[in-house]
């Protein structure tokens, strides 16, 4: 999840090589500058932090774009908000 949030595609590739579940939902994660809600996937994390390269990589790897977080938002909705606000 953290790799997606910071856009570390090399680490994401390595995790997927070791068969990490691309669609697993997280528990709450806190970084110094933000807190992520429960039930977010790596795709949500990439979208929330505006990591478009990581977001596109995850989609190409088969991330489920229809999953919603606890707020009922898809990763695409988070990305649209992120782009709009920045």
Task: Please count the other Cβ atoms lying within 10 Å of the Cβ belonging to residue 59.
Answer: 16
Task: Please count the other Cβ atoms lying within 10 Å of the Cβ belonging to residue 19.
Answer: 7
Six-digit token string for 76: 């695409």
pLDDT band at 82 (very low <50, low <70, confident <90, very high): confident
Domain boundaries, the chain: 2-85
The tens digit of pLDDT for each residue in 19-74 reads: 999 998 887 666 666 666 678 999 999 998 999 999 999 999 999 999 999 899 99
> Which pLDDT belongs to residue 28?
63
pTM of the model: 0.85
Q: Can you name the CATH fold of 2-85?
A: 1.25.40
Report the phi/psi class of residue 51: left, alpha or beta, with left for phi > 0 and alpha for psi in -120 to 50: beta
- The more confident residue out of 85 and 60 is 60
The residue assigned the tokens 């790897």 is 61
């Amino acid at each position: 999840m953290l790799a997606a949030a910071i856009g570390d595609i090399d680490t994401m590739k390595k995790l997927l090589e070791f068969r990490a579940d691309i669609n697993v939902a997280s528990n709450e994660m806190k970084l110094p500058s933000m807190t992520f809600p429960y039930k977010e996937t790596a795709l949500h994390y990439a979208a929330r932090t505006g990591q478009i390269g990581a977001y596109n990589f995850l989609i190409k790897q088969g991330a489920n774009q229809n999953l919603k977080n606890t707020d009922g938002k898809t990763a695409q909705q988070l990305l649209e908000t992120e782009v709009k606000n920045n």
